[in-house]
Amino acid sequence: MKQWNEMTREEIEASCENLVIITIGATEQHGSHLPVSTDNFIVETIAKESVRRSNEQIPIILGPHIPFGFSHHHFLYAGAISLSIQTLLTVLKEIVESMVKSGFTKIFILNSHGGNDEIIRLAAKEIGYVHDVNIGAASYWSIAKDKFTVYLANTGLYDVGHAGQFETSLMMAIEPALVHMDRLQQKNSNRKATDLTFEDVVRIRPKSIWKEIDGYSDEPEKAQREIGELLLNQICNHVRHVQINN
């Protein structure tokens, strides 16, 4: 598998006809039980495995990772490193434009943070108007959404949410040493197990909701490593299908 950061200038120049996958996550609180880089761990794992699977059929380059996104809504807690919407748009556009200068015309942005979802699509749209490139952008959970939603419903799992059962299960499979279930405490006895499901309609929630639910959604105490492994396999297969058909 070719990785941008490990390649020489000659190797990159010789590979400019390949599709490049750029990943983006976030650095922000994920409850008291998960690290602030949870979204980065998840998207980098998905990208590496899906690219590995895709390379069985077509050559794809695993591009650089962007560890920061739009996370202003998590400034209520320590640890958030956030870019403004305009700054993030500029960063994405200039990274892609840099790749275009190296000769690349097939680029895909893969995201794992809800706050970035609209922004990556806007960036791809603007770049597509200016440059003659084949560019796409999507969050991993929105790829093959219909099949994914049915799978979650049939297994009784919560949707993606934030630091809930879904993400905690993924982290148990990816970096179990960084999952601290013993620190998971419901400080508010009246806390509601909301799933904070991502929706097609943009809905702006009050920042106070994160304090009300102690910074995490649904019921992460129901997370299991086995669930995380199954989810990763499903997600990587869906992302791989998009890559080889891009």
pTM of the model: 0.91
Highest mean pLDDT among 82-96, 154-168, 186-200: 82-96
Q: Which pLDDT does position 21 carry in this prediction? A: 97
What mean pLDDT comes out for the span 3-28? 97
pLDDT digits (tens, 9 = 90+) for 16-71: 999 999 999 999 999 999 999 999 999 999 999 999 999 888 999 999 999 999 99
Q: Which pLDDT does position 214 carry in this prediction? A: 85
Q: Which pLDDT does position 227 carry in this prediction? A: 93
Q: Which pLDDT does position 144 carry in this prediction? A: 76
Higher pLDDT, 20 or 196: 20
**Among 44-58, 106-120, 150-164, where is mean pLDDT lowest?**
150-164
Q: Which pLDDT does position 190 carry in this prediction? A: 59
Higher pLDDT, 187 or 155: 155
Q: How far apart are CA 59 and CA 56, in angstroms?
A: 8
Packing angle, helices 225-244 and 165-174, rounded to 10: 90
In the numeric block, which tokens belong to residue 239? 């992302």
pLDDT of 101 over the 90 cut: yes
**Among 9-13, 176-180, 241-245, where is mean pLDDT lowest?**
241-245
> Percentage of the chain with pLDDT > 90?
72
CATH annotation of 2-244: 3.40.50.10310
What's the whole-number average pLDDT of the chain? 89
What mean pLDDT comes out for the span 121-146? 92
Domain spans of the chain, in order of start = 2-244
Q: Which pLDDT does position 166 carry in this prediction? A: 94
Q: Which pLDDT does position 188 carry in this prediction? A: 53
Convert the chain into a string of H (helix), E (strand) and C (coil): CEEHHHCCHHHHHHCCCCEEEEEECCECCECCCECCCHHHHHHHHHHHHHHHHHCCCCCEEEEEEECCECCHHHCCCCCCEECCHHHHHHHHHHHHHHHHHCCCCEEEEEECCHHHHHHHHHHHHHHHHHCCCEEEEEEHHHCCHHHHHHHHHHHCCCCCCCCCHHHHHHHHHHCHHHCCHHHCCCCCCCCCCCCCCCCCCCCCCCCHHHHHCCCCCCCHHHCCHHHHHHHHHHHHHHHHHHHHCC
Sheet holding 19-24, edge to edge: 2-3, 60-66, 19-24, 106-111, 134-139
What mean pLDDT comes out for the span 215-238? 92
Cβ contact 59:18 at 8 Å: yes
Q: Which pLDDT does position 168 carry in this prediction? A: 97
pLDDT of 199 over the 50 cut: no
